Structure 1
Amino acid sequence: MEISALMDRRTPRNRKLLPSIAGVAILAISSLACSAPEKSYETPDSLCGKSVPSKLLDPFMPPGKRVSVVSRNETEGIRRCRIYVDDKEVLSASSEWLNKDRSLLEVAAMAYNNVDPGDRKTKDGKYIYSPTGAIGKVTCLTPPTSSERVFASIRISGGKPNAKALKDLIREYAEELKNSDHCS
């Protein structure tokens, strides 16, 4: 029965019932507003099979019950993985062989990277990043070809945007890729 309907009925019982119903409704609403969603999963300590401290991934991880990581290496020269929280994509990372003459700005201009050529660049010129995406040049220790190089990318799709944390994450990910099997 709606509260307005109770107010229209002027019986003594309804007048006593109305404050109780209103009190329960206020209590229910306030308890929902005060309870913050929790993160009941452990943040991964790797990204696409590369060791990355979980503290670098943590800023992007939303509350949820479970996390899953899906890797795909279906396209030659591209390795990609996605992190999901409760079946919603939060972050994706990839490493890709491209022509070595491609600039960081050209790679940043690719539509799917969530980075624009005008976004922040590191002083060493190896990384470009925004709150939702980052690109990095990977200096392979044993490159298999002299005409190509590996670029690393990270895209935030459902997680929390954070430019500084993304800069730290792309640096670590690119460092881990330097001596990986994808670099040889």
Structure 2
Amino acid sequence: MRLLPLAAATAVMVATAAGCGDSAEREYTVPSSLCGIHIKTATLAPLLPPGKRVSVEPDTPVPDAIATCEVAVDKKVVLSVERERREPGAAARDIAVDQLSAHDPKSAAARTIAYTDAVAVSITQCTAPDVVKEDISTVIRVFEPGHKDESALKDLITEYTEVLKTSSPCEVKSG
């Protein structure tokens, strides 16, 4: 007979806890573009937290060399993207470890991608005869309260890099 009141109390606590979770919903539309690169919202969504408003703020700290943008949810930066032109021969894993202090990143796409649950790096090589010989590195970082997710970040950097390649990011030789 004592189990019935305990079961009823447990059911009430579970229902109450479930009701509390409803307040943490995504009220904004997930962006479909990062730094001018179109991405599927389903690829970006797992990394973004609940909130009311989202903004994507582009910035170009060094014109024609570095492009950045930040994704903020309720005015808190949760994700950033940085593209940088580099000398040829850069390795995604080296950038992740040496410059971003990533611990034991995994590799993908013939080692042109390195990623963890919070940072991902890709290298796009510019090797065509009519372009400047250089690499373009892309770095995506996830910050709290964004959701760190190794698989989702790998998917995002992979998709972002593939779309970047189709946008002709390499600088055409002059003259």
Per the shorter chain, which TM-score range? Answer: 0.7 to 0.9
Q: How does 1:143-154 map to 2 (within 5 A)?
A: 144-146=131-133, 148-154=134-140
The equivalent residue for 2:161 is: 174
* Structure 1 runs not aligned, ≥5 long: 1-26
The equivalent residue for 1:92 is: 80
Query: Structure 1: how far apart are the matches of 2:21 and 2:153?
Result: 30
Q: Residue 135 of structure 1 contacts residue 152 of structure 1 at CA under 8 Å; is this kept in 2?
A: yes
Q: Residue 114 of structure 1 contacts residue 134 of structure 1 at CA under 8 Å; is this kept in 2?
A: no
Q: How does 1:10-159 map to 2 (within 5 A)?
A: 30=16, 33-76=20-63, 77-111=65-99, 113=100, 115-116=102-103, 118-122=104-108, 124-140=110-126, 144-146=131-133, 148-158=134-144, 159=146
Q: What is the Cα deviation at residue 104 of structure 1?
A: 2.1
* Structure 2 runs not aligned, ≥5 long: 1-12
Q: Residue 139 of structure 1 contacts residue 178 of structure 1 at CA under 8 Å; is this kept in 2?
A: no
**Aligned-residue CA RMSD (Å):** 2.4
Q: Residue 61 of structure 1 contacts residue 90 of structure 1 at CA under 8 Å; is this kept in 2?
A: yes
Q: Which has the higher helix share?
A: 1
Query: Structure 2: how far apart are the matches of 1:59 and 1:37?
Result: 14
Q: Which has the higher strand share?
A: 2
- TM-score, scaled relative to structure 2: 0.78
- TM-score, scaled relative to structure 1: 0.74
CA-to-aligned-CA distance 1:65-97 (integer Å, 9 cap, x gap): 000010001214111000000000010011111
Q: Residue 60 of structure 1 contacts residue 160 of structure 1 at CA under 8 Å; is this kept in 2?
A: yes
